[in-house]
Amino acid sequence: MPAKRLKPCQCGLCTESTQGDFAPGHDQKLRIHLEKAAGGLLQLKNLLASVQAPEHVINRQLVAYNARDLVAWIGTYASDAIQKTLSGEVLAKGHAALRARMKARMADPALHAKLLKRSVMGQVVVDHEVVTETGPNGIEHMEMVCVYLVEDGVIRSATFHRSV
Ligand SMILES: [Zn+2]
């Protein structure tokens, strides 16, 4: 019989090993700790709401984009999220397609998005930016407007309009 593999308890409060995510009872220990650390259950709820706020999600997306951190970037998108142009052309749909599309762009060390202006209306965030990247003729700058729809703390859709 193969031995069950032990891994560190995920509670972050102990040094025990366990077969699941948590040593017995440590999920409850973590729950109590998180509530206390936030200053109460209501504060924890508000903290989560602020992290999931559309503007916050889009900002995380922008930071990950500029850090060329594909894992962090894809984490801001819903698994079935769609990217399209303003005229309706689908650029990518779903994590696999999004990842494939962005992986190539993130391989460019010159890639950078500079935010000019951001507008937020409910679940919709509009970023007006200048994107720098390496084109066939060297470094290129292009102006872009990105319209994001954020639901449940992730990007549901992104619609892009670029200057060229
Ligand atoms: Zn633990």
Q: In CATH, what number is assigned to the domain containing residue 156?
A: 3.10.450.50
Q: Report the separation in Å between the CA atom of 22 and the middle of ligand 1, taken as the mean of its atom positions.
A: 6
Provide the pLDDT for residue 4: 73
Task: Please tell me the pTM assigned to this model.
Answer: 0.80
In a domain, 42, yes or no: no
CA of 37 to the centre of ligand 1 (A): 16
What range does the domain containing 147 cover? 54-162
Report how far ligand 1's centroid is from the alpha carbon of 19 (Å).
Answer: 12
Full 3-state SS string of 1-64: CCCCCCEECCCCCCCCEECCCCCCCHHHHHHHHHHHHHCCHHHHHHHHHHHCCHHHHHHHHHHH
Residue 153 lies in a domain: yes
C-alpha of residue 9 to centroid of ligand 1, in Å: 5
Total structural domains in the chain? 1
Query: What is the pLDDT at residue 163?
Result: 82
Q: Is 101 a member of any domain?
A: yes
Query: Exposed (0-12), middle (13-18) or buried (19+): which is 18, by Cβ within 10 Å?
Result: middle
Going from the Cα of 16 to the center of ligand 1, the distance in angstroms, rounded, reads 6
164 residues of the chain, pLDDT tens digit each: 556 789 999 999 999 999 999 999 999 999 999 999 999 999 999 999 888 999 999 999 999 999 999 999 999 999 999 999 999 999 999 999 999 999 999 999 999 999 999 999 999 999 999 999 999 999 999 999 999 999 999 999 999 999 86
